[in-house]
């Protein structure tokens, strides 16, 4: 029998029988595994006919035992015999429960878990997904739904692209006009919106309960047209580029006009005023509040697609903004273009070039490692969750590639950027840009099943890569996602009928 597990655990030994669940199944907590017990009892409560009692009584056959250890890793051990024994740190127990979610099977109303012994530990520490809430504003409930989905695949970083030309999405007390004047719209006339600080705290807490660390991004110095709606003295006039002009004509989208909401999705036309001290007062206020609001170690400062900004100005900006971020107590993260500059020591670079990168992209990416930092790999031809699955796909873009499930699965992070020390790679991230998205169903369509391919690259040992085996395992997850009410695309190359 195929165990439908994605990402594949480091070690799996299948047994022959199965463990039967019933409404009398007990969850036994050992050594304070309370949070895990409530996560598991919630999961079971959502399965028709299942219920569970949580207890600290001694365990007997038929029980599910959750045993917490005080290690701070993400590993867990799962043994399913005549009982279920799950042992791990808080994060490890959470991941073990995600594994149980995938193992839990229903047959004619009877629920069971196949007997198995699993020892599991992730390959990479940074396993990220990104949601663009600037081109389309997604409310708190949708972000939580996104966290549910991503954390079920053992992703542990949620990068939120909070600002862009089309809108500013986070309340900043010292600069109230950002949300009063620059948050009202999204791309293509879609409604805008923003998170109050309490909303944002709620997202952070929900993410933390799902073992995801929020990485907030304030995209700078470009992608900043919206700031000009609120604080016009902080931004330059739009600079048109050929790509923008051609794209706006072919898509029938408006060109950016200073002081008016931008509703197209062309890039590279905006910049903050890099040499004005008032800009730096603004940035100190904004980044200071974001840093204060964010418990996680990272603050993403953008750095992509500054097509109208002179190189020397861009480099001066990057040098100063990464230093400021460190001063504010956070590790800066920046898109790889920022590697043209003397980034602050320790800055993390996010590579988004193709899987056969240009010499310039390589050079910029290596710079982060040379300066004591590390790299997150998001090769746009493989890891971009906003690309179409096929040319006919109604959603998504295709400028980087058309990415079917096999393309999303068949790449190796250490082989993308020649010369990059594998030890400098902290992990991978799948960005979901939102130009073509309006609903959670749209998000699901681009996310499932491709995110499962990325999750396996992020978590499973490199030696486990096997497309045909993955196809079988992922096919069995369709019913698991259905049971959760999660949508998604079901490409015909996969047999989704596996139970
Ligand atoms: C490029 S990738 C962008 C975004 C777009 C995306 C669409 C990157 C760092 N910048 O501004 O949303 O393409 O695929």
Q: How far is the CA of 115 from the centre of ligand 1 (A)?
A: 44
Per-residue pLDDT averaged across 78-84, rounded?
A: 97
Which residue, 479, 493, 486, is CA-closest to 103? 479
Per-residue pLDDT averaged across 246-275, rounded?
A: 96
Per-residue pLDDT averaged across 112-136, rounded?
A: 98
- Tell the residue number behind the tokens 């600002």, with chain if given: 163
Q: What is the DSSP string of 61-90?
A: TT-EEEEE----S--EEEEESSSEEEEE-H
**Pocket flag, ligand 1, residue 74 (CB < 6 Å):** no
Atom number of ligand 1 nearest to Cα 378: 2
Say which range, 44-53, 169-178, 381-390, 461-470, has the weakest mean pLDDT.
44-53
CA distances to 8, 182, 203, 216, 271 from 297, in Å: 28, 27, 16, 10, 26
**Pocket flag, ligand 1, residue 267 (CB < 6 Å):** yes
Confidence of residue 2 (pLDDT cuts 50, 70, 90): confident
Q: Is the pLDDT of residue 287 over 80?
A: yes
Distance CA 123, CA 420 (A): 17
Q: Are 463 and 439 in contact (CB under 8 A)?
A: no
CA distances to 81, 140, 179, 330 from 343, in Å: 53, 33, 30, 14
Task: Write the CB contacts of 271 (distance below 8 Å, at least 6 apart in sequence).
Answer: 221, 222, 224, 235, 236, 239, 306, 308, 309
For residue 148, the model assigns a pLDDT of 98
**Pocket flag, ligand 1, residue 207 (CB < 6 Å):** no
Q: Are 85 and 29 in contact (CB under 8 A)?
A: no
- Tell the residue number behind the tokens 């005023």, with chain if given: 273
Q: Is the pLDDT of residue 238 over 80?
A: yes
Tokens of 336: 């790889």
Distance CA 402, CA 471 (A): 19
Q: How far is the CA of 449 from the centre of ligand 1 (A)?
A: 21
Query: Could you give the count of Cα atoms lying within 13 Å of 430 in the half-sphere of its Cβ?
Result: 29
**Catalytic-role residue among 236, 305, 337, 456:** 305
Task: Write the CB contacts of 163 (distance below 8 Å, at least 6 apart in sequence).
Answer: 134, 169, 170, 217, 218, 219, 223, 224, 226, 227
Q: How far is the CA of 433 from the centre of ligand 1 (A)?
A: 7
pLDDT tens, residue by residue, 142-167:
999 999 999 999 999 999 999 999 99
Is this prediction's pTM over 0.95? yes
- Percent of the chain exceeding pLDDT 90 equals 96
**Pocket flag, ligand 1, residue 352 (CB < 6 Å):** yes
**Pocket flag, ligand 1, residue 217 (CB < 6 Å):** no
**Spans of all domains in the chain:** 11-120, 126-463
**Pocket flag, ligand 1, residue 335 (CB < 6 Å):** yes
Residue 407 backbone dihedrals phi, psi, to 5 degrees:
-65, -35
Higher pLDDT, 33 or 134: 134
- Tell the residue number behind the tokens 């993260």, with chain if given: 333
Of all protein residues, the one whose alpha carbon is nearest to atom 10 of ligand 1 is 304
For residue 49, the model assigns a pLDDT of 87
Q: Are 349 and 426 in contact (CB under 8 A)?
A: no
Q: What does CATH list as the number for 126-463?
A: 3.20.20.80
| Same fold for the pair 11-120 and 126-463 | no
User: What sign for the dihedral angle of Cα 432, 192, 246, 394?
Assistant: positive
305 is catalytic: yes
pLDDT tens, residue by residue, 339-398:
999 999 999 999 999 999 999 999 999 999 999 999 999 999 999 999 999 999 999 999
User: What sign for the dihedral angle of Cα 2, 4, 10, 11?
Assistant: negative
- Percent of the chain exceeding pLDDT 70 equals 100
Strand positions, DSSP E, 203-276 = 213-220
Atom number of ligand 1 nearest to Cα 386: 14
Distance CA 446, CA 31 (A): 40
Tokens of 174: 């010292």
3-state secondary structure at position 388: coil
**Pocket flag, ligand 1, residue 386 (CB < 6 Å):** yes
Q: How far is the CA of 172 from the centre of ligand 1 (A)?
A: 24
Of all protein residues, the one whose alpha carbon is nearest to atom 13 of ligand 1 is 433
**Pocket flag, ligand 1, residue 304 (CB < 6 Å):** yes
When the pLDDT of each residue in the chain is averaged and rounded to a whole number, the result is 97
Helix locations, 342-404, DSSP H? 359-370
Pocket test for ligand 1, best of 307, 354, 433, 435 (most atoms within 8 A of CB): 433
Of all protein residues, the one whose alpha carbon is nearest to atom 9 of ligand 1 is 304
Q: Are 340 and 315 in contact (CB under 8 A)?
A: yes
Q: How far is the CA of 476 from the centre of ligand 1 (A)?
A: 32
Within 10 angstroms of residue 447's Cβ, the number of other Cβ atoms is: 26
pLDDT tens, residue by residue, 401-455:
999 999 999 999 999 999 999 999 999 999 999 999 999 999 999 999 999 999 9
Atom number of ligand 1 nearest to Cα 434: 12
**Pocket flag, ligand 1, residue 433 (CB < 6 Å):** yes
Within 10 angstroms of residue 406's Cβ, the number of other Cβ atoms is: 14
For residue 23, the model assigns a pLDDT of 87
**Pocket flag, ligand 1, residue 355 (CB < 6 Å):** no
**Pocket flag, ligand 1, residue 442 (CB < 6 Å):** no
Q: How far is the CA of 401 from the centre of ligand 1 (A)?
A: 13
Report whether the peptide linkage leading into residue 7 is cis, meaning its omega lies within 30 degrees of zero. yes
Architecture of the CATH domain 11-120 = 2-Layer Sandwich (3.30)
Per-residue pLDDT averaged across 317-338, rounded?
A: 98
- Tell the residue number behind the tokens 């794209």, with chain if given: 247
**Pocket flag, ligand 1, residue 307 (CB < 6 Å):** no
Of all protein residues, the one whose alpha carbon is nearest to atom 11 of ligand 1 is 267
Of all protein residues, the one whose alpha carbon is nearest to atom 2 of ligand 1 is 352
Confidence of residue 204 (pLDDT cuts 50, 70, 90): very high
Tokens of 195: 């998170």
Q: Are 258 and 232 in contact (CB under 8 A)?
A: yes
Distance CA 154, CA 99 (A): 9
Confidence of residue 67 (pLDDT cuts 50, 70, 90): very high
CA distances to 40, 121, 232, 233, 422 from 141, in Å: 21, 30, 32, 35, 37
pLDDT tens, residue by residue, 486-497:
999 999 999 998
Q: Is the pLDDT of residue 499 over 70?
A: no
Of all protein residues, the one whose alpha carbon is nearest to atom 4 of ligand 1 is 433
Distance CA 214, CA 94 (A): 17
């Amino acid at each position: 029998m195929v165990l439908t597990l994605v990402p594949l655990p480091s070690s799996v030994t299948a047994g022959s029988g199965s463990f039967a669940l019933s409404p009398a199944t007990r969850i036994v907590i050992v050594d304070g595994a309370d949070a895990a017990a409530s996560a598991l009892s919630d999961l079971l409560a959502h399965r028709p006919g299942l219920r569970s009692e949580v207890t600290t009584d001694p365990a007997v056959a038929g029980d599910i035992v959750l045993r917490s250890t005080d290690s701070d890793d993400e590993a867990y051990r799962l043994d399913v015999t005549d009982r279920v024994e799950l042992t791990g740190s808080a994060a490890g127990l959470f991941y073990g429960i995600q594994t149980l979610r995938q193992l839990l099977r229903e047959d004619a109303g009877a629920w069971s878990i196949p007997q198995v012994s699993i020892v599991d530990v992730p390959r990479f520490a940074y396993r990220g997904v990104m949601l663009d809430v600037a081109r389309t504003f997604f409310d708190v409930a949708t972000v939580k739904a996104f966290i549910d989905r991503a954390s079920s695949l053992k992703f542990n970083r949620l990068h939120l692209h909070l600002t862009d030309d089309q809108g500013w999405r986070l309340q900043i007390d010292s600069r109230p006009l950002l949300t009063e004047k620059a948050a009202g719209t999204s791309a293509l006339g879609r409604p805008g919106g923003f998170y109050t600080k309490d909303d944002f705290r709620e997202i952070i807490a929900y993410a933390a309960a799902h073992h995801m660390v929020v990485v907030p991004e304030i995209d700078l110095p470009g992608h900043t047209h919206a700031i000009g709606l609120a604080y016009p003295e902080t931004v330059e006039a739009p600079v048109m580029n050929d790509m923008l002009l051609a794209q706006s004509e072919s898509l029938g989208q408006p060109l950016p006009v200073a002081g008016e909401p931008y509703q197209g999705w062309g890039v590279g036309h905006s910049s903050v005023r890099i040499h004005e001290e008032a800009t730096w007062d603004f940035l100190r206020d904004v980044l200071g509040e974001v840093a204060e609001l964010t418990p996680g170690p990272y603050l993403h400062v953008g750095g992509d697609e500054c097509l109208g900004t002179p190189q020397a100005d861009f480099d001066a900006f990057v040098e100063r903004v990464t230093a400021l971020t460190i001063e504010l107590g956070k590790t800066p993260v920046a898109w790889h273009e920022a590697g043209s500059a003397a980034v602050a020591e320790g800055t993390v670079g996010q590579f988004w070039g193709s899987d056969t990168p240009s010499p310039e992209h390589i050079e910029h990416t290596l710079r982060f490692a040379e300066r004591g930092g590390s790299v997150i790999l998001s090769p746009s031809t493989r890891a971009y969750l906003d690309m179409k699955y096929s040319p006919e796909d109604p959603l998504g873009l295709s400028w980087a590639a058309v990415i079917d499930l096999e393309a999303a699965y068949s790449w190796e992070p250490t082989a993308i950027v020649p010369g990059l020390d594998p030890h400098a790679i902290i992990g991978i991230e799948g960005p979901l840009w939102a130009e073509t998205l309006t609903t959670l169903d749209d998000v699901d369509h681009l996310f499932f099943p491709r995110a499962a391919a990325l999750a396996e690259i992020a978590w499973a040992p490199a030696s486990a890569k096997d497309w045909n085996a993955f196809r079988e395992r992922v096919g069995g997850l369709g019913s698991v996602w259905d049971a959760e009410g999660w949508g998604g695309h079901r490409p015909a190359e996969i047999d989704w009928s596996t139970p």
